[in-house]
A = this chain, B = another copy of it.
């Protein structure tokens, strides 16, 4: 611990009290490694403010002592963006004690949640007033609103409702100079200069600490229908999505699943079974929902899938007959990563290309990767309607120890090169954090890197906000 860190910790302790300053290494330990266990950091203390004013105090002290802060919510990020540096040169700033839902209103269709509110808690609060916060993802039981906003999180309902960027109505944040940016007014229209809310969303804590977020709510779902379909190709899956979207506004989930991913799930995940009798090269999981008590969303989906079958868009389809079966269908999708890990080492790539190009990209990129690295198996699954798939490369038959280290970097570079050549993004929803920083630096246009660095330097000239993350 440096002298500056010791002073900061002591002064913070006087302001925040014992609950606000954790220095016991055993209590800090679970929070200095990213949740996938790939990056290990260190920090001499974890500060845990209970209010925006306490965050202001901490940011001022950080500036005064030139000690950087690493903001953290539920520590569920996929790019190690909330993991402190290994040399202990930064202080962890846990936002989990700021966990109050300040307001939730069906009339204004808004909730204001502090940064540390867990997503599932917000879901419940919205539900209690007959509304819904329509973003969800696997980590909903532990990820926090501040982290979701800071990483512009996505998830499985983006197709209809967009990412956090489109669901955030306003942001409250402490900027690196200790001033409070207050965008929580819930104004639907406000043209007073640069939109700092949008700048802070997806900034991964490098421009300030998000302390609270105003979030858009939508009417609660009264019914949903879930179907599993078999299709010949990703192109047919996209054709099905377009077919459905042209005829109904109820589609909110649409996930592509290749046969070999399904096979691995059936092999490794207990209690799973194939939804369709025959074999299909590809599958699409479809979820339709409605907030209208009069609408029969299951009948509508059944009718539309019947037409799609007649027109040769799909090969087969089955509608979940119960909520349990709907959950079982979703489980087949949600356990793909787990099943792949059970089979052997897997390299995951969270990538996007323009939606119309995605079907071609999946097949083309998989063929190129398999040709360049004989023995590996490459495939893409996930949010086809968002142009975002998780492109996974499995070691396949030659899963030698050290495969990750020996071939991993070269495979990822090839995938990222293919994505970049296709006009896509090497980080669709997971962010840059620490893990994708080198690839971002390698592939981003110089003008973009210059602009990002200039903005970072302008708002955080002392470099106290989440150093070593995002900015190449």
> Which of A26-34, A267-275, A298-306, A447-455 is near enough to bind chain B?
A447-455
Q: List the B side residues contacting A311 at CB < 8 Å.
A: none
B193 x A470 contact (CB < 8 A):
yes
| Cα(A158)–Cα(B352), bound, Å | 29
B455 x A459 contact (CB < 8 A):
yes
A191 x B432 contact (CB < 8 A):
yes
**Residues of chain A from 419 to 472 with CB closer than 8 A to chain B in the complex:** 423-432, 440, 444-448, 450-452, 454-455, 457-459, 470-471
Contact with B along A181-194 (1 / 0, CB 8 A): 11001111111111
Q: How far is the CB of A450 from chain B (nearest CB, A)?
A: 7
B356 x A194 contact (CB < 8 A):
no
Q: A198-B198, A352-B187, A356-B108 are in contact. Are A193 and B452 (CB under 8 A)?
A: yes
Q: List the B side residues contacting A199 at CB < 8 Å.
A: 194-195, 198-199, 455
A432 x B195 contact (CB < 8 A):
no
Instruction: Tell me the interface secondary structure of chain A in the complex.
Output: loop
B198 x A195 contact (CB < 8 A):
yes
Q: A181-B448, A199-B195 are in contact. Are A189 and B440 (CB under 8 A)?
A: no
Residue A154 interfacial (CB < 8 Å):
yes
**Residues of chain A from 379 to 399 with CB closer than 8 A to chain B in the complex:** 383, 386-388
What is the chain B residue whose CB lies nearest that of A383?
A: B189
Q: List the B side residues contacting A108 at CB < 8 Å.
A: 354-356
A107 x B459 contact (CB < 8 A):
no
Q: List the B side residues contacting A356 at CB < 8 Å.
A: 105, 107-108
A191 x B458 contact (CB < 8 A):
no
B450 x A388 contact (CB < 8 A):
no
Count copies of this chain in the complex: 2
What is the chain B residue whose CB lies nearest that of A183?
A: B448
Residue A52 interfacial (CB < 8 Å):
no
Residue A281 interfacial (CB < 8 Å):
no
Q: How far is the CB of A288 from chain B (nearest CB, A)?
A: 15
A189 x B425 contact (CB < 8 A):
yes
| Cα(A189)–Cα(B448), bound, Å | 18
Residue A242 interfacial (CB < 8 Å):
yes
Of the candidates A447, A470, A471, the one having the most CB atoms from chain B within 10 angstroms of its own CB is A447
A188 x B450 contact (CB < 8 A):
no
| Cα(A55)–Cα(B383), bound, Å | 37
Q: Which one of B151, B249, B386, B446 lies within 8 Å of A249 (CB-CB)?
A: B249
Q: Which one of B196, B388, B440, B448 lies within 8 Å of A196 (CB-CB)?
A: B448
Q: List the B side residues contacting A163 at CB < 8 Å.
A: 189
Q: A189-B387, A192-B432 are in contact. Are A181 and B440 (CB under 8 A)?
A: no
A354 x B179 contact (CB < 8 A):
no
Q: A175-B447, A447-B177 are in contact. Are A191 and B354 (CB under 8 A)?
A: no
Residue A411 interfacial (CB < 8 Å):
no
Q: How far is the CB of A225 from chain B (nearest CB, A)?
A: 18
Q: List the B side residues contacting A72 at CB < 8 Å.
A: none
Q: List the B side residues contacting A151 at CB < 8 Å.
A: 191
Residue A45 interfacial (CB < 8 Å):
no
**Residues of chain A from 238 to 290 with CB closer than 8 A to chain B in the complex:** 242, 246, 249
| Cα(A388)–Cα(B186), bound, Å | 12
| Cα(A195)–Cα(B171), bound, Å | 15
Residue A118 interfacial (CB < 8 Å):
no
Contact with B along A327-361 (1 / 0, CB 8 A): 00000000000000000000000001111100000
Q: List the B side residues contacting A166 at CB < 8 Å.
A: 166
| Cα(A459)–Cα(B458), bound, Å | 9
Q: List the B side residues contacting A452 at CB < 8 Å.
A: 193-194
A188 x B444 contact (CB < 8 A):
no
Q: List the B side residues contacting A175 at CB < 8 Å.
A: 447, 451
Residue A165 interfacial (CB < 8 Å):
yes
| Cα(A429)–Cα(B352), bound, Å | 33
Instruction: Show 30 A/B contacts (Cβ-Cβ < 8 Å), sorted by A.
Output: A105-B356, A107-B242, A108-B356, A177-B447, A179-B445, A179-B446, A179-B447, A179-B450, A180-B447, A181-B448, A181-B451, A185-B424, A186-B354, A187-B354, A187-B387, A187-B423, A187-B425, A188-B352, A188-B386, A189-B386, A190-B427, A191-B431, A192-B432, A193-B203, A193-B432, A194-B202, A194-B452, A196-B448, A198-B199, A454-B459
Q: What would 9 more interface pairs be, CB under 8 Å, given A179-B446, A192-B432?
A: A108-B355, A158-B189, A165-B195, A179-B451, A186-B355, A189-B352, A192-B426, A194-B451, A451-B459
